[in-house]
Amino acid sequence: MAVEEEVFDILRERFGDAVVSAEASGAHPYAVIKAERWPQVALFLRDDPRLLLNMLRCISSIDMIAEDKLACVYDLMYLADDCGDELITETREFAVRIETPRDDPVIPSVAHVWPAADWHEREAYDMMGIHFSGHPDHRRILCPDDWVGYPLRKDYVFPLEYHGIPGTTEYDLPNPRH
């Protein structure tokens, strides 16, 4: 976990209070960054010679309904770019979490930093209803364009009808979480 501690220190030194908190214990260390500073931090994470996290692996959206927040977890990785055709044996990874209020969820887009973010952000918008300001192509990606609601929110109500197609919850087992 020493590597993550170093990244936390670098970020705190450079961005100060933009780093809300840092979670170093556990299997998945991450730093919580303020949403409005995220594009600057993202550029720094990608371009700083000590970090060079040039690959965005995944954006996982989370519904933190108990705290009335939505969040996105960005999993980043360093993939050596100067190795020629040698086998790459070392890497470093880092995760960033951006939290946003549930009633007005907006996170600045980082599609210009990592082009891979384009589809991941569209998926997070489609499934969780988080808006990504400045996204080049802000549309739903998996659901149809006229779909109502965001399926992965915890309070999502399954539609009983879509364009004349009946949907039923009749056979569904009661959700053990409720």
Cβ proximity to other proteins: between 13 and 168 the closer is 168
Element (H, E) at 57: strand 55-64
Q: What is the contact mask toward other proteins in residues 79 to 118, using x (rule: CB under 8 A)?
A: x-x-x-xxxxxxx---x------------------xxx-x
Asked if 56 is part of the footprint of other proteins (rule: CB under 8 A), the reply reads yes
Q: To 10 degrees, the CA torsion angle through 90, 110, 73, 26?
A: 40
**Contacting residues for 35 by C-beta, under 8 A, at least 6 apart:** 98, 99, 100, 106, 107, 108
Distance in Å, CB of 156 to other proteins, minimum: 8
Antiparallel, parallel or unpaired: β 106-108 and 93-101? unpaired
Return the bridge partners of 72, or none: 61, 98
Give me the least distance between CB of 115 and other proteins, in Å please.
5
How many positions of this chain bind other proteins (CB under 8 A)?
A: 43
Question: Does 155 help bind other proteins (rule: CB under 8 A)?
Answer: no
Q: Which residues contact 123 (CB under 8 A, 6 or more apart)?
A: 59, 61, 141, 142
Q: What torsion, rounded to 10 degrees, do the Cα atoms 143, 77, 105, 125 define?
A: -10
Supply the Cα-derived Rg of the chain in whole angstroms: 19
Q: Which is nearer to other proteins, 36 or 137 (CB)?
A: 137
1 binds other proteins (CB under 8 A): no
20 binds other proteins (CB under 8 A): no
Contact call for residue 75 and other proteins (CB under 8 A): yes
Which residues contact other proteins (rule: CB under 8 A)? Answer: 26-28, 54-58, 60-63, 73, 75, 79, 81, 83, 85-91, 95, 114-116, 118-120, 123, 127, 140-144, 151-152, 175-177
